[in-house]
Structure 1
Amino acid sequence: MTKTTINTFAAGARISTRGEDFLITGITENYDGSMLLDAEGISELVKGKRFKFDTKLDVDIQVLDPAKTKLVADTDSGYRRTKLFLETQLRNSTHYGDKIHVAHKAAFNFSEYQLDPTLKAFKLPRPRLLIADGVGLGKTIEVGIFLAEMIKRGKGKRIMVLALKSILGQFQQEIWNRFAIPLVRLDSHGIAQIRAELPANKNPFEYYDKTIVSIDTLKNNAKFRHFIEKSRWDIIVIDECHTVANSNSQRGDLAQFLATRCESLILTSATPHNGKKETFANLIQMIEPTAIPRSGEYDKSDVEPYYVRRFKQHILDDKVRSNFQDRRIVPIHCEITPEEEEFLNKQQKIKFEALKSIHLETEKNLFDESTRKEKRDLLFSIGLFKSYMSSPSAALESINRRIEKIKEKGKSSENANDNIHLLEDLQSDLIHILHNQKDSKYQAFKDRLIELGWSGRSKDERIVVFAERIDTIKYLSENLKRDFDLDDESIETFHGGLSDMEQQALVEDFGKKDSKIRILLTSDAGSQGVNLHYYCNTMFNYDIPWSLITLEQRNGRIDRYGQTETPVIHYLIATSDTEGLRTDFHILENLTRKEEEVYNSLGDAASVFKLYDSKAEEAKVEEAIMDQNEDFFFGFSAPDVSDDDLFGGGSDVTNSFVTPDPVASELSLYESDGYYYKDLIEQLKAERLMGYDEAEFVDSTYLEVRNTKELDRVLFDLPKESKPSLKDIYRLSLDKNTVQNAIVEARKKKGEWAKFQMLYDLHPVIRFLMTKLEASVDKEVALVSRHGKIPVGTAWFVIHGQVSNNLGQSVISDFFVVPMKLSGGLHKQPLSLRDFISQFEVNQTLLTQYIDQEHLDTLTEMLPDVIDFAKLMHMDQKQQIKQLEMEKQLAVYQEKLKNWEKSAQDHLELTFADVPQTGFIRRRKEDEIRYVETIFSQSSQYFKDLNSLNNEAHLKVIAAFYNL
Structure 2
Amino acid sequence: MSIAYAPGTRISTRGEDFLVTNIIENYDGSVLLDAEGISELVKGKRFTFDSKLDTDIQVLDPVNTKLEADTDYGYRKTKLYLETQLRNSVTNSNKICIAQKAAFNVADYQFDPTLKAFKLPRPRILIADGVGLGKTIEVGIFLSEMIKRGKGKRVMVLALKSILGQFQQEMWNRFAIPLVRLDSQGIAQIKAELPANKNPFDYYDKTIVSIDTLKNNAKFRHYIEKSRWDIIVIDECHTVANSSSQRGDLAQFLATKCESLVLTSATPHNGKKESFANLINMIEPTAIPRTGDYAKADVEPYYVRRFKHHILDAEVQANFQDRKIVPIHAPLTDVEEDFLREQQKIKFEALRNLDKETEENLFGKNKRAEQRDFLFAIGLFKAYMSSPKAAFSTICNRIDRIEKSGVQTEKAEDNLDLLKGLKEGLEIILASKKDSKYEAFKNQLVKLGWSGRPKDDRIVVFAERIDTIKYLRERLTQDFNLDEKAIVEFHGGLTDVEQQGIVEDFGKKDSDVRILIASDAGSQGVNLHYYCNRMFNYDIPWSLITLEQRNGRIDRYGQKNTPYIYYLVATSEVEGLKTDLHIIENLTKKEEEVYKTLGDAGSVLKLYDSGQEEQIVQQAIAKQDEGFLSDDIDFDLDALFAGEGDITDSHVEEEPVEEVATLFERDNEFYQSLIEQLKSVQLLEQQDANFVDPTYLEIRNTKELNAILYDLPPEAKVKVNDIYRLSTDKGTVQNAIEEARKKKGEWAKFQMLYDLHPIMRYFMTKLEASVDKDVALVAKLSRLPEGRAYFVVHGQITNNLGQAVVSSFFVVPLSMAGGIADKPYTLKEFVDKYKLDADLSTEYVAESDTTQLTSLLPEVVQFGQELYMRQLQVQKEIEMEGLLTKYQEQLKAWEASAKEQVAIDFQDKTMTGIIMRKKEDTEREIETIVSRSSQYYKDLTSLNQDAYLKILAVFYN
- Give the TM bin, normalised by the shorter chain: over 0.9
* Structure-2 residue corresponding to 1:808: 802
1:799 to 769, 793, 810: 793
SS of residue paired to 1:446: helix
Residue 899 of structure 1 corresponds to: 893
Q: In the alignment, what sits opposite 1:831? A: 825
Residue 817 of structure 1 is matched in structure 2 by 811
Letter in 2 for 1:317: D
**TM-superposed deviation, 1:635:** 2.2
Cα RMSD (Å): 1.4
Amino acid at match of 1:422: L
Aligned with residue 721 of structure 2, among 727, 730, 741: 727
Asked whether the 8 Å contact 1:361–1:371 carries over to 2, the reply is: no
Q: Within 5 A, what are the aligned runs for 1:50-449?
A: 50-359=46-355, 372-449=368-445
Tell me, yes or no, if the aligned pair for 2:306 and 2:650 is still in contact at 8 Å. no
Deviation at 1:552, TM superposition (A): 0.2
Matched with 1:475 is 471
Matches of 1:621 and 1:922, distance apart in 2 = 45
Cα distance change on mapping 1:600 and 1:549 into 2, 3 Å: same
Change (3 A) 1:6 1:254: farther
- The correspondence for 1:942, drawn from 932, 936, 939, is 936
Kindly state the Cα deviation for residue 666 of structure 1 after the two structures are TM-superposed: 2.1
* Residue number in structure 1 paired with 2:914: 920
AA of the residue aligned to 1:497: G
Q: 1:31 to 1:369 in 2, by over 3 A?
A: closer
Matched, 1:854 2:848: yes
The one-letter code of the counterpart of 1:102 is: I
Instruction: Using the TM superposition, give the Cα deviation of residue 657 of structure 1 relative to its aligned residue in structure 2, in angstroms.
Output: 4.1
Preserved CA contact (<8 Å) 2:177 2:756: yes
Aligned equivalents of 1:640, 1:581: Cα separation in 2:
29
1:693 aligns with 2:696: no
Q: Percent identity?
A: 67
Which of 869, 881, 898 aligns to 1:887? It is 881
Deviations 1:828-854 (A, max 9, x none): 111111111111121121111111111
Q: Which runs of 4+ in 1 moved over 2 A?
A: 5-8, 359-363, 368-371, 635-643, 646-649, 656-660
TM-score (norm 2): 0.99
Amino acid at match of 1:223: K
How far residue 360 of structure 1 moved from its aligned partner, in angstroms, is: 8.4
CA distance in 2, matches of 1:937, 1:602: 43
Q: Distance in 1 between matches of 2:96 and 2:167?
A: 22
The answer to whether the Cα contact below 8 Å between 2:324 and 2:565 also exists between their aligned partners in 1 is yes
Output aligned runs, 1:645-724, within 5 Å: 646-724=640-718
Aligned CA distance change for structure 1 residues 6 and 640 (closer, same or farther; 3 Å): farther
Aligned match of 1:874: 868
1:259-301 superposed Cα distances (whole Å, 9 cap, x missing partner): 0010000000000001222111010000000001011111101
Alignment-mate amino acid for residue 239 of structure 1 = D
Q: Is the 8 A contact 1:103 1:148 kept in 2?
A: yes
Aligned ranges 1:28-47 → 2 under 5 Å: 28-47=24-43
The CA deviation string for residues 1-27 of structure 1, in whole angstroms up to 9 with x for no partner, is xxxx54421111111111111111111
**Contact 2:92–2:804 (Cα < 8 Å) also in 1:** no
In the alignment, is the contact (CA less than 8 A) between 1:301 and 1:648 conserved in 2?
no
Candidates 461, 465, 487, aligned match of 1:465: 461
- TM-score, normalised to structure 1's length? 0.98
Please say if residues 609 and 638 of structure 1, whose CA atoms lie closer than 8 Å, have aligned partners that are also in contact: no
- Cα distance in 2 for partners of 1:805, 1:821 equals 34
**2 CA distance for matches of 1:186 and 1:549?**
30
Give how far 1:45 is off: 0.6
Q: Do the aligned partners of 1:609 and 1:636 also contact (CA within 8 Å) in 2?
A: no
Give me the whole-angstrom Cα distance separating, in 1, the residues matched to 2:230 and 2:846: 47
Q: Give the one of 517, 523, 528 matched to 1:527.
A: 523
Name the structure 1 match of 2:953.
959
Query: Which of 578, 583, 593 is 2:579 aligned to?
Result: 583
State the alpha-carbon separation in 2 of the partners of residues 359 and 927 from structure 1.
45
Q: Aligned equivalents of 2:357 and 2:794: distance in 1?
A: 84
Structure 2 residue matching 1:260: 3-state secondary structure: coil
Q: Letter of the aligned partner of 1:690 in structure 2?
A: L
SS state of the match for residue 24, structure 1?
Answer: strand
SS in 2 for 1:703: strand
How far residue 520 of structure 1 moved from its aligned partner, in angstroms, is 0.3
Partner Cα separation in structure 1 for residue 255 and residue 755 of structure 2: 29
Q: CA contact under 8 A between 2:181 and 2:208: conserved in structure 1?
A: yes
Aligned to 2:588: 592
CA distance in 2, matches of 1:686, 1:465: 59
After superposing the two structures, state which structure 1 stretch, 585-594 or 655-664, moved more.
Answer: 655-664
Q: 2:562 aligns with which of 563, 566, 577?
A: 566
Instruction: Tell me if the contact between 2:273 and 2:638 (Cα under 8 Å) persists in the aligned partners.
Output: no
State whether residues 310 and 650 of structure 2, in contact with CA within 8 Å, keep that contact through their aligned partners in structure 1: no
In 2, Cα distance between the equivalents of 1:826 and 1:372? Answer: 91
- Whole-Å Cα distance in 2 between the matches of residues 360 and 23 of structure 1? 72
Q: Residue 602 of structure 2 aligns with which residue?
A: 606
- What is the CA-CA distance between 1:918 and the residue it aligns to? 1.6
Q: Alignment partner of 2:36: what SS?
A: strand
Give the residue type in structure 1 aligned to 2:154: R
The question of 1:24 aligning with 2:20 is answered yes
Question: What letter corresponds to residue 609 of structure 2 in structure 1?
Answer: D
Partners of 1:261 and 1:372 lie apart in 2 by 47
* Alignment-mate amino acid for residue 472 of structure 1: T
Cα distance 1:103–1:579, how it changes in 2: closer, same or farther (>3 A)?
same
- Whole-angstrom CA distance in 1 between matches of 2:697 and 2:954: 32
In structure 1, what is the equivalent of residue 754 of structure 2? Answer: 760
2:128–2:265 Cα contact (<8 Å) kept: yes
Question: CA 1:292/1:739 → structure 2, altered by over 3 Å: closer, same or farther?
Answer: same
Is the 8 Å Cα contact of residues 357 and 371 (structure 1) preserved in structure 2? no
Are the structure 2 counterparts of residues 369 and 479 from structure 1 closer, same or farther at C-alpha, using a change threshold of 3 Å?
closer
Distance 1:24 1:381, change over 3 A: same
